[in-house]
Chains A and B, each alone.
Chain A
Amino acid sequence: MNTALRKTVTPWLFTLPAIACILVILVFPVLSGVRLSFFEYAMRDFAVGRDPVFIGLDNFRILFGSANFRTSIQVTLVFVSSVVIFELLLGLVLALLMEGGIKGLRLFRTLFILPIMIAPVVVGLIWRFMYHPSFGILNYFLLRLGLEPIPWLHSTEWALRSVIIADIWQWTPFVFLILLAGLQGVSRDLIEAGIMDGCSYLQNLFFVKLPAIASIIAVAAILRLIDAFRSLVVIYVMTYGGPGVSTEVLSLHLYKTAFMAQRLGRASAIAVILLAILLLLSSVLVVRTLRAERK
């Protein structure tokens, strides 16, 4: 083998194990999921040894014809957009407040991380108890203040809001931490230059700090977006999708289709749709950030 050829082949040889790993653990499962979405396959077929039946696009047709699935998409979009927007805003405000290095920053930071560290099942349970119509602490305070108790989890009007509030509670600290790190990384020189030029706090914020951490905000947004689309456990524990289907996000709808209705093919179709929505949204965000960066 001559040197030139060896030079081109060797790097490939070295990366081959990594590529094989990625194929096996990532590409193959995704592709087989996509393939399964064109089949009718129940869990009991698997047990009996019956093969999946090819049904073309029927799964997708049934899904888009189903009122519950359409509601589920709607619920997911409302849930994801609300939590991402509120968490970014709140996280940013908190990060700006803490950025100056106030007293006891360490303590606050530790306290803020707590919600992220609690297991999702526990978060669901904590909030379920707090929202409890008779024994919950939230309605207790409302009554104490002379206000009407709120049917947090058992009215169609409130359930989704309550679920959103719980998610904001849990994940704002995550956004806060990322943004705080970003803000602290902004060069002092830039900010001082702004002050020298007579920038007000707001001008400094909007024209210096925020543009400087734009890419970090985008990363936080993408991470939260992806995570929010997949969130399942907290909602599962708090409402199990109810009342009716008013908090049934796509991932929960998928879970129920796969494990309650035992329709693995149709569940795969939901997964494919979820993947498509996520790819679309996150690629839009990534492309925009990159473009902004280049400017």
Chain B
Amino acid sequence: MKKKRGKTRLLVLVLAVVVAAGLMAGGAREAEEAPDRVAPEEFDWRQFEGETIVFNFPAHAAYNAVAPLIPEFEELTGITVETDQMAYMRLHDSQVLSMSQPQGDYDLIAMVVMWKAEYADGGLIQPLEPFFEQPHLAMPDYDFDDLVGAYVENTGLVGGDKIYLGGEGAELYGIPLGAETSFLAYRKDLFEEYGIDVPETYDEVVEVARFFSEEVDDVYGLAMRGASGHQATHAWLLHASPFGASVFDENWEPAFTSPESIETLEFMKKMVEYGPPGTASFDQDGQFNAFLQGQTAMYIDASVITGLIGNPERSAITGKVGYALHPRARTGLSQTGGFGIAIPSNSQNPEAAFLLMQWLTSPEIERRAVLDGAPPVRYSTVNDPEMQERFPEFKVLAEQLHYANPDWRPIIPEWGEINEMLGIAINQVLTGDKTPEQAMRDVEQPIRDVMQRAGYYD
């Protein structure tokens, strides 16, 4: 039943698009004024007055920044918002438990992008297009196209070209909030002192890392993660993307034994060699601290670190850091990841939750959250000259977003298991227990078995 209705709706949508396209061909102005949005001043914020919704989210810069603003939403709408904040590794269990009951506890959830295919595939979260299509629900000045495209694809779209990507047949399930890409942060002061150019390629990164580790006392090359499991896989993905390596080929066969992947691992081994002691055991915190305490000259990873760099309580290098594009090898593609928000299928107040969802990611709230340390997810924020003045890294970020790769990691429902298996093997390379070829070959068959059992090769 539900499916059928969705199909009819899709048909209507397609028709609408065709008609709109026709109109646009006739006169762009008329199409712009198509009456599917109410005027901003006529939008009824108080239509769900008196209702209560529950919002489940992690302790994370973006959510720490929006949480204090929520009382304003309550005042605006008369909706009561109960918040349930927890450590991000605990979100998954409690969300799955809540969403598999007939009536859920949560009306709005923050999910790590890794979980979106699993949630959408299982029908645990709702497609958002039906909400956006209803004029009385869609916030008039929301400006959806202003949301960073790669983030929307990475956090929100399911069922397109691949299950976790956009393209034909894709549906929107989530909106980015706390999403991030990767770039290069480097110690401006050290680079100036030793007359070093900012690396643009991976070869140059190796050279700079070698220089600092061999020539400068107590300073090492790159801050990188390497701990067994998820952390090591993350580091590998981060560099595999520029080197042109991937986990699977287009037939879902393991592709991490490819020459590009081996090259990625050789690069990472060098970074362990030129990195601070213990690089192969660093999780994200270890990596952050290595850079923040001034141990390394470079950092290539999630852009979320900027908030910490600017905080003198956490960082010994405040004001000494410059930013540049993620270095290039074969490509210059950078990470997409982080969090998005979605509405559970068993939410008891999905429409009220949709209002909060839009409000939280609306241009105005985004601006204020960013000023309070949240990573931006809108083009208008990173491109705003005033914001760029205040956050110099936004200039680089604005450019980097062109290279953000929505197909950065295969977000299939089986990813949790494969993530760990691959991460153990990568860590064994970094500690020198196995050669890159050996480690990748050893894990190839076990991972293929997982895919086989999940029916990818039938």
Contacts and interface: CB of A to CB of B under 8 A. Distances in A.
Contact of A260 (B121, B281, B420, B428): B420
A179 B374 CA distance: 55
A134 B277 contact: yes
Contacts of B214: none
A43 B96 CA distance: 8
B301 interface: no
Given A133-B276, A260-B416, A242 B281 contact: yes
B96 A46 contact: yes
Given A68-B424, A262-B417, A243 B431 contact: yes
Interface in A35-78: 43-44, 46-49, 66-68
Contacts of A43: 93, 96
Name which of A154, A248, A256, A263 has the most chain B CB atoms within 10 A of its CB. Answer: A154
Given A46-B96, A47-B122, A67-B442, A153 B278 contact: yes
A278 to B, nearest CB: 25
What secondary structure prevails in chain A residues at the interface with B? loop
A260 B229 contact: yes
B79 interface: no
B431 A154 contact: yes
A132 interface: yes
A125 to B, nearest CB: 11
A245 B228 contact: yes
Contact of A149 (B276, B277, B280, B433): B277
Contact of A243 (B121, B417, B433): B433
- Scoring B124, B278, B280, B421 by chain A CB atoms within 10 A of each residue's CB, the highest score goes to B278
A241 interface: yes
A82 interface: no
B93 A132 contact: no
B100 A241 contact: no
Nearest to A135: B293
Contact of A242 (B99, B417, B427): B427
B100 A47 contact: yes
A48 B124 CA distance: 8
Contacts of B123: 48
Interface in B266-309: 276-281, 283, 290, 293, 295
B417 A47 contact: no
A103 to B, nearest CB: 43
Contact of B277 (A66, A151, A240): A151
B278 A154 contact: yes
Interface string B407-438: 00000010011011100100110110100000
B93 A259 contact: yes
Contacts of A261: 416-417, 420
B295 A134 contact: yes
A47 B96 contact: yes
Contacts of B366: none
A242 B424 CA distance: 8
B109 interface: no
B417 A154 contact: no
Nearest to B220: A134
Contacts of A243: 228, 280-281, 427-428, 430-431, 433
B416 A262 contact: yes
Interface in A98-137: 132-135
B118 interface: yes
A86 B276 CA distance: 33
A256 B420 contact: yes
A156 to B, nearest CB: 5
B424 A48 contact: no
A244 interface: yes
Nearest to B95: A47
A203 interface: no
B227 interface: yes
A283 interface: no
Nearest to A155: B431
B446 interface: yes
Nearest to B449: A62
B240 to A, nearest CB: 20
A82 to B, nearest CB: 21
A261 B417 CA distance: 4
Contacts of B279: 154
A44 B413 CA distance: 9
A239 interface: yes
Nearest to B230: A260
A46 B97 CA distance: 8
Nearest to B425: A244
Contacts of A240: 227-229, 283
A68 to B, nearest CB: 7
Nearest to A66: B446
Nearest to B280: A154
Contacts of A151: 277-278
Nearest to B286: A132
Contacts of A68: 421, 424
A244 B425 CA distance: 7
B281 A154 contact: yes
A59 to B, nearest CB: 12
A116 B280 CA distance: 31
A260 B419 contact: yes
13 contacts: A47-B100, A47-B122, A48-B123, A68-B421, A154-B277, A155-B431, A241-B424, A243-B431, A244-B424, A244-B428, A245-B228, A260-B229, A260-B417
Interface of B: 93, 96, 99-100, 118, 121-124, 227-230, 276-281, 283, 290, 293, 295, 413, 416-417, 419-421, 424, 427-428, 430-431, 433, 442, 446
Given A242-B281, A244-B428, 8 more contacts: A44-B118, A46-B96, A149-B277, A153-B281, A242-B424, A243-B430, A243-B433, A256-B229
CB-based closest 5 A-B pairs: A242-B228, A261-B417, A154-B281, A133-B278, A133-B277
